[in-house]
Amino acid sequence: MKMSILSILGLALAGLTFHAEAQVSAKTAKTPFVTTGPITLPLHFDHYYTYEQVGEALKALHAAYPKLTTLESVGKSEEGRDIWAMTVNNPATGAPSTKPGVYVDGNIHGNEIQAGEVCLGLLNRLLTLYGQNEQITKLVDRNVYYVVPVVNVDGRFHFLADASTSSSQRSIRIPVDDDRDGLLDEDGPDDLDGDGNICRLRRKDPFGVWKTDPEDPRLMVRIKPGEVGEWTLLGDEGIDNDGDGKINEDAEGYVDGNRNWGFNWMPPYVQSGAGAYPFQAKGLKALATFLVERPNILVVYAFHNNGGMFLRGPSTKLGEPMNARDVAVYDVLGKHAEKIVPGYRYLVSWKDLYATNGDFVDFTDNVVASYGFVGELFQSESESYRAPAKPGAAAPPPPAEGGFMGRNPDQERERILFNDKVVQGDLYRPWKPFKHPQLGEIEIGGWVKMSSRLPHPFMLNDLVYRNVSAVLFAASQTPEIKLEVLSVEKAGPELHRIRVRLSNPNAIPSMTHTAVQHQIHPKDTLKVEGTGLKVVAGGPIAMNPLEEITYKPHKPEIQFLQVPGYGKVEYSFLVSGKGKAHITYQSLKAGRAAVSAELK
């Protein structure tokens, strides 16, 4: 049917008016599971923190532990919100730059809010247990921690403050003309019933592909060939705000915070959500500066949701083959993480999940030169309501096909029972009739925004605790370099042979093998010097029965090296003269050490 320009304009204006009314009602709707009242320490994780409360929690931790913490704003978001970073370091054991750096962030996608809670949980554990728990105290004394709980601060704010689906508000808030009509972000979802959620729309339709689930009238299953349909799904709650005949086709963004980094970036026609150019997002550019200004960072964890995974790079096949010795390090960290967090899997991003360009962990692996993981938090199958397996019983059959939103019917039926029996109806809205201004008589219902990708608050504490423990295990494996003089022998008149060992009892080497291979940053140095002394020869000792020495032809007093994980390196120096020889080791990421030897 043809419509005049005036008719289209009138429909658009009517839609905009309705949209405004719906937004007002959404603002007044309360978001469940969110904390209220003042922040108290230690922090508790039986609820979610709003963006503002994350800032308050960080300030409370800083006020309580001023000697161990530094709190700063990395930069501002597109909407002017601060991106907070907290540094945890014990100055009594050295400056931050002299220690291995452990960087942890979360919530780069605005809807993935439990990632922020894991970051707060890490800070809470490091600070409130310092001096009380021996392991925690050692980890704080030995490493420095840089923690950014919320990267996409605008997204977190809007996900909790506005009506949303479980998957909306992910984008960096850079307007994008998704439907190419010259307007920006003008047709997103609308909270039609004012309950604070964006649920689903359906309409009675004998030609639809869905029918009511005979086991539960709230659910739907696909019809079989030859069956008469009952329902057509119309997408998420919303109206045609711009009068173009489409609903919800131009929501916020979409610039994906995990596709906009300046390593292996590809344009939008290759990588959806990439943005117009690398670091288009203000916050990501500021965060990249924060990272490269801290070259001691050696371990990176970026928390997302969901699926229950610890993902390592590379994020595309072009990054293969990864250095085999780095893979061995990842295997130690990833396989331990699988044991710490039951049900989570240690996987390779591009091969076991999907490929991404402009990925954050690819950036940190190849620019910052660190060992990086993406932690995909929460598994929806943990929302269980089932009888325990009988001893010796056969494994259950594979799930049946034909379920809603990619799930099989049995999974949906179990989830609705979990909703009914375990969380007293918090996660699902029964279908209700609604008079839509454009679609007519429809129904609204389904899973709410705090479902599907997020654990119910009663499950949150366990998720936080176990994933923090995975980070702490990785922190326990940062290099702990020991420098020692093994022997000082006379080699001639006023000539001595000094044998030096550098050892590391932990899994992570003093720098990544990829950094050595591609010369991403300078190697560690071992230097011998002293008043009246001259190093006439020096080099590494081969770890074989002959103990061959490869002498460095120029400036033998300075040796360039990497200390492996679970290993050692040894060096021999011929030094002429008498006096005290000062031997120093310095690493960009593994700290410093010094010893001396008396040459008589």
pLDDT in tens, 246-262: 999 999 989 999 999 99
In a domain? residue 192: no
Res. 277 pLDDT band, cuts 50 70 90: very high
Q: Are 315 and 362 in contact (CB under 8 A)?
A: yes
Q: What CATH number is given to the structural domain containing 540? A: 2.60.40.10
Checking if the pLDDT of 398 tops 60, the result is no
Side chain identity, residue 134: E
Q: E strand or H helix at 541, and its extent?
A: none
Q: How confident is the model over 163-197, as pLDDT tens digits?
A: 999 999 999 999 999 999 999 999 999 999 999 99
Question: Looking at the structure, do residues 544 and 562 belong to the same domain, yes or no?
Answer: yes
Question: Looking at the structure, do residues 505 and 465 belong to the same domain, yes or no?
Answer: no
End-of-domain residue from the set 447, 476, 505: 476
Q: How confident is the model over 520-564, as pLDDT tens digits?
A: 999 999 999 999 999 999 999 998 888 999 999 999 999 999 999
Per the structure block, which two tokens stand in for 183? 């307007």
- Tell me how far apart the alpha carbons of residues 469 and 279 are, in angstroms, rounded to a whole number: 32
Per the structure block, which two tokens stand in for 553? 């032809």
Question: Looking at the structure, do residues 494 and 594 belong to the same domain, yes or no?
Answer: yes
In a domain? residue 2: no
Q: How confident is the model over 112-124, as pLDDT tens digits?
A: 999 999 999 999 9
In a domain? residue 268: yes
Question: Looking at the structure, do residues 126 and 263 belong to the same domain, yes or no?
Answer: yes
Q: Are 350 and 317 in contact (CB under 8 A)?
A: yes
Q: What CATH number is given to the structural domain containing 272? A: 3.40.630.10
Q: How confident is the model over 320-344, as pLDDT tens digits?
A: 999 999 999 999 999 999 999 999 9
Question: Looking at the structure, do residues 503 and 549 belong to the same domain, yes or no?
Answer: yes
Q: Does 565 or 2 have the greater pLDDT score?
A: 565
pLDDT for 334 equals 98
Per the structure block, which two tokens stand in for 99? 């220690």
In a domain? residue 316: yes
Question: Looking at the structure, do residues 507 and 359 belong to the same domain, yes or no?
Answer: no
Question: Looking at the structure, do residues 262 and 370 belong to the same domain, yes or no?
Answer: yes
End-of-domain residue from the set 476, 509, 533: 476
Q: What percent of the chain has a predicted confidence (pLDDT) above 70?
A: 92
Strands 144-148 and 101-106: parallel
Residue recorded with tokens 């649920």: 199
Residue 412, classed as helix, strand or coil, is helix
Range of the domain at 511: 482-599
pTM: 0.93
In a domain? residue 300: yes
Average pLDDT score over residue span 346-367:
98
Question: Looking at the structure, do residues 261 and 372 belong to the same domain, yes or no?
Answer: yes
Question: Looking at the structure, do residues 541 and 468 belong to the same domain, yes or no?
Answer: no
- Rounded to 10 deg, the angle between the 114-128 and 134-142 helix axes is 100
Say how many domains are in the chain.
Answer: 2
Question: Looking at the structure, do residues 94 and 133 belong to the same domain, yes or no?
Answer: yes
Question: Looking at the structure, do residues 519 and 373 belong to the same domain, yes or no?
Answer: no
**Residue 180, Cβ density class (10 Å: 0-12 exposed, 13-18 middle, ≥19 buried):** exposed
In a domain? residue 386: no
pLDDT for 399 equals 47
Question: Looking at the structure, do residues 469 and 572 belong to the same domain, yes or no?
Answer: no
End-of-domain residue from the set 412, 446, 476: 476
In a domain? residue 339: yes
60: left (phi over 0), alpha (psi -120 to 50) or beta: alpha
Q: How confident is the model over 33-48, as pLDDT tens digits?
A: 997 789 999 999 999 9
What number of helices (H) and strands (E) belong to the chain?
A: 11, 22
pLDDT for 7 equals 37
In a domain? residue 269: yes
Checking if the pLDDT of 599 tops 80, the result is yes
